[in-house]
Structure 1
Amino acid sequence: MTRLASSSVSRRVVLSALGAAALCAAAPTFAQGTYPAKPIKLLVGYAPGGSVDMAARVAADILSAKLGATVVVENVTGAAGVVAAQRAVSSPADGYTLLAGSSNEMAATVLVNPAQRYDPVKDLTPVSLLAVAPVLLVASPKVGVKNLDEFIALAKRNPGKYSYGSSGVGSTLHFVGEQIKQRAGLFLTHIPYRGTAPLTSDLVGGTLDFAIVSPTAAAPFLQGGRIVPLGVSSAKRFPSLPQVPALGEHPQLKGYELSGWFALAGPKDLPAPVVQSLRAALQAGLADPAIRRRLEEGGSIPATGKEDLGQIMREDTAKYATLVKFANMRD
């Protein structure tokens, strides 16, 4: 009886140990390259159909194809992307909840939003740049200017008379407008909007004089001359709008360059093997001509995935900090 009991206990111990070993072998181990072992979620701080959402869905398709994973895009709107970013920052650093974000919540808003509880540079792990998103300086036809020369001359003759709109205080579009003012020595009144639709409506109607808008938002209104394109914020002309000069081509804006961007990041301390897997997948995907066309058609310039996203975040935050002081954006 005693020997049978002892034998039974021994078998249970052995079976238990074997079961534990099997579980350990099945568990995801980053160093062994088993990531991803379950679906990956990409948090997007903006509504479906917008430029950030579009870039996120391109990234999702790349990761799904290259990693063989299920990738889900979840739109968590609010506070110019901050709500989604805060949720990403607070998520486990395991590579299964990531932020597909923009320069707004990854560089700009921390300087002007006192309610933001995270520091992008300290609390996010940079993974990869996805695309650069130049924006346009545009005018209402009712103002009567057709190019940058006329815009600058008119604004200088009438300091404080004219206004420009953006998507909100502290947004990348706001910073682009303030840097134009700073470089050219202009006095324009900034009017923040809570969406592209009311901004473009006021611009077409002549209630608003000028605006900083994305190429995709401007596209329907450029046809037929309902708004007038004056310049693009990238260092070079935008491929899909070759007739529109880069702002930096004008002598009083020489060297101007300040664009938004889209990128993928994770919570602080994301394991290096996870970052490497994600980055390698995105680099491979971004080299695909079909993927690049999708991004270009969405109004952005595709990245290579080899850029130093951390450096971009730091440099742009420093640029924005000087403009916060210039425009007195924060009390």
Structure 2
Amino acid sequence: MRPTPPTLSRRLAAALIAGGLTLLCTAPAAAQEAAWPAKPITLVVGYPPGGSTDLMGRLVGAELSTRLGQAVVIENLGGAGGTIGAQKVVGAAPDGYTLLVGSSNELAIARLINKSVKYSPANFTPVGLIGSQPLVLVASTATGVKNAGDFTDLVKKNPGKFSYGSSGVGTALHLAGEMVKEQGGLFMTHIPYRGVAPLTNDLVGNNLEFGVFVLSSGLPHIKSGKVVALGTTAAKRAPATPDIPALAELPQFKNVDIESWFALVGPAGLPQPVVAKLKKALAETLQSPDFRKKMAAAGSGVAAPDANLPQFWRDEVAKYTKIVQFAKIDE
């Protein structure tokens, strides 16, 4: 047998060594992904405790903990409309140990109205849609308005006289109000509040004529008769409140369809084995009767386990972009 040339032998040895080093480097990473989760997971919520996004985070976190066999710790990072929490997750290591339960505000709306928000959907790994909450347009009792038809007639007869409030500029509540104005051809002034509490105080105290709430926040005041529900903003009536009409039932508001939605995401570049485990755990969660019961009690709908979050996200951004342009919120 002819001897192997020395040059070829050196090349072969170098290739074998390089291959061995590659295996040595990739094997631990693969093992870590297979063993995930091997320690507690941090679930970031970009709002203080007690709000709707925080509730979603705690409900989902408890379910994921049970299904993944590891503690899921909620980290509330309130401020800047949820964007501080979102930015933390964008900058986190893509190892599956830092995730975000985010809402439409910070995931889709914020970057359309605030040039300082630099992240986009491309900076996240989408895991899955959790659910959504309809918003509700309400009137103070002093207006004498009883339904959406009365509301439309009153505002059209008095252009510029009335105001509506939301929990802040660029929130889903603000965009819902602007969508109602655009669809109905109405002229009202938007008054942004620093959260739901002062908005509620002014509506209940008859210092503001109209307002937009997340349904779960507005429901106690609707039931007590302190404000009047004019209609929800989803395309159909909310299962939790079948007695409150959807605004879309009126011809002038037939295209009103906006909700506050919630999704589970991670930083860009999450390993596929980790994403697969998260998707499976979330799908099981969404089908859990106990979870669905708790979501219904909070006035929230549950997403389909196979919902296409990336496509849904793109569609929502396109919808919000039109509203922002109409209301000139980004100027």
- TM-score, with structure 1 as normaliser: 0.90
Q: Secondary structure at the match of 2:66?
A: helix
Mean Cα deviation higher: 27-36 or 66-75: 27-36
* Counterpart for residue 162 of structure 1: 162
- How far does residue 89 in structure 1 lie from its aligned partner after superposition? 0.3
* Counterpart for residue 57 of structure 1: 58
Runs of 4+ in structure 1 off by over 6 angstroms are: 23-26
* Counterpart for residue 70 of structure 1: 71
* Counterpart for residue 95 of structure 1: 96
**Counterpart amino acid of residue 59 in structure 1:** V
* Counterpart for residue 153 of structure 1: 153
* Counterpart for residue 248 of structure 2: 248
Q: Distance in 1 between matches of 2:94 and 2:43?
A: 13
* Counterpart for residue 288 of structure 1: 288
1:88-146 CA-partner distances (Å, limit 9, x unpaired): 00001111001111000000011001221211x11111111111111100010101100
Count of aligned pairs between the two proteins:
309
**Aligned Cα RMSD in Å?**
1.8
* Counterpart for residue 321 of structure 2: 321
- Asked if the contact 1:28–1:35 (Cα under 8 Å) also holds between the matched residues in 2, the reply is no
- Asked if the contact 1:152–1:184 (Cα under 8 Å) also holds between the matched residues in 2, the reply is yes
**Counterpart amino acid of residue 302 in structure 2:** P
- How far does residue 228 in structure 1 lie from its aligned partner after superposition? 0.2
- How far does residue 25 in structure 1 lie from its aligned partner after superposition? 11
* Counterpart for residue 199 of structure 1: 199
Q: Secondary structure at the match of 1:127?
A: strand
Sequence identity percentage: 47
- Asked if the contact 1:103–1:260 (Cα under 8 Å) also holds between the matched residues in 2, the reply is yes
- How far does residue 71 in structure 1 lie from its aligned partner after superposition? 0.6
* Counterpart for residue 264 of structure 1: 264
- TM-score, with structure 2 as normaliser: 0.90
- Asked if the contact 1:247–1:256 (Cα under 8 Å) also holds between the matched residues in 2, the reply is yes
- How far does residue 224 in structure 1 lie from its aligned partner after superposition? 2.9
* Counterpart for residue 238 of structure 1: 238
- How far does residue 33 in structure 1 lie from its aligned partner after superposition? 2.6
**Is the counterpart of residue 131 in structure 1 residue 131 in structure 2?**
yes
- How far does residue 256 in structure 1 lie from its aligned partner after superposition? 2.2
**Counterpart amino acid of residue 80 in structure 1:** G
- Asked if the contact 2:183–2:255 (Cα under 8 Å) also holds between the matched residues in 1, the reply is no
Q: Secondary structure at the match of 1:136?
A: strand
Q: Which runs of 5+ in 2 are unaligned?
A: 1-23
- How far does residue 220 in structure 1 lie from its aligned partner after superposition? 2.1
Q: Distance in 1 between matches of 2:33 and 2:124?
A: 24
- Asked if the contact 1:51–1:299 (Cα under 8 Å) also holds between the matched residues in 2, the reply is no
* Counterpart for residue 115 of structure 1: 116
- Asked if the contact 2:127–2:278 (Cα under 8 Å) also holds between the matched residues in 1, the reply is yes
Q: Distance in 1 between matches of 2:128 and 2:76?
A: 20
Q: Which runs of 5+ in 1 are unaligned?
A: 1-22
**Counterpart amino acid of residue 43 in structure 1:** V
Q: Residues 200, 223 of structure 1: CA spacing in aligned structure 2 closer, same or farther, 3 A cutoff?
A: same
